[in-house]
Amino acid sequence: MNKCYSCGGEIKIIKDKPYSYTECGLDVVLHGITQYDCPTCGEEYASIPNMQKLHRLIGAHICQKRKALLKSEEIKFLRKDLHLKAKELAALLGVTPSTISRWENGKKDIGEAHDRLLRSVYMMYASEQANHMICGGVLNMFKELPAKRKKIEQSKELVLNPQEWLNCMPDCCPA
């Protein structure tokens, strides 16, 4: 017999009802999720397996399937799934924290270039987390870039030894 976490009353198990997963901040409906309803206190909750994979699937869907510019709630979802504070995402994308705030609050639309960059960063991160290395350490790579960069003269020549690419491990970039 299952008991309610809130009141200890007997709960009703629901298995065939679509679940509106509003907790993620997006309009997501899950099917096949076990839900619980307590007729005594009115408490309702769901058992969602492997939330990390679910969030990666949602994030990948946003990045790959949504053709319009990212919406404010999608930007916030991606940032949170990247485990970044707004200040950290701002540094990563080369914008100010107030810009991130305006994007996430819907006061300003994200631009085309930053939309593409955020999607790319997310997809590389998701790939890393799934051990499908595209580019190891992508978040650190972007974090290490200074916020404001000046044009400097750099050598155009790239010098490599065969050992650097022949012995390249899967975590080197590019794959």
User: Do 87 and 39 reside in the same domain of the chain?
Assistant: no
Residue 175: closest CA among 123, 134, 132: 134
Tally of domains in the chain: 2
Provide the residue range defining the domain that includes 139. 51-143
Please indicate, yes or no, if residue 92 is contained in any of the structural domains.
yes
**Could you read off the pLDDT of 27-64 as tens digits, one per residue?**
899 888 889 999 999 999 898 888 888 898 899 889 88
Please confirm whether the linkage preceding 97 is cis (ω < 30° from 0). no
Mean pLDDT, to the nearest integer, of 21-31? 90
Please indicate, yes or no, if residue 151 is contained in any of the structural domains.
no
Q: Helix or strand or coil: residue 158?
A: coil
**Could you read off the pLDDT of 70-79 as tens digits, one per residue?**
999 999 999 9
User: Do 32 and 63 reside in the same domain of the chain?
Assistant: no
The answer to whether the Cα torsion of 81, 84, 90, 91 is positive or negative is negative
Please indicate, yes or no, if residue 1 is contained in any of the structural domains.
no
**Could you read off the pLDDT of 75-109 as tens digits, one per residue?**
999 999 999 999 999 999 999 999 999 999 999 99
- Residue 170 pLDDT: 44
Beta bridge partners of 147: none
pTM confidence score: 0.75
**Could you read off the pLDDT of 118-137 as tens digits, one per residue?**
999 999 888 877 765 545 55
Please indicate, yes or no, if residue 152 is contained in any of the structural domains.
no
Phi and psi, residue 35, nearest 5°: -120, 155
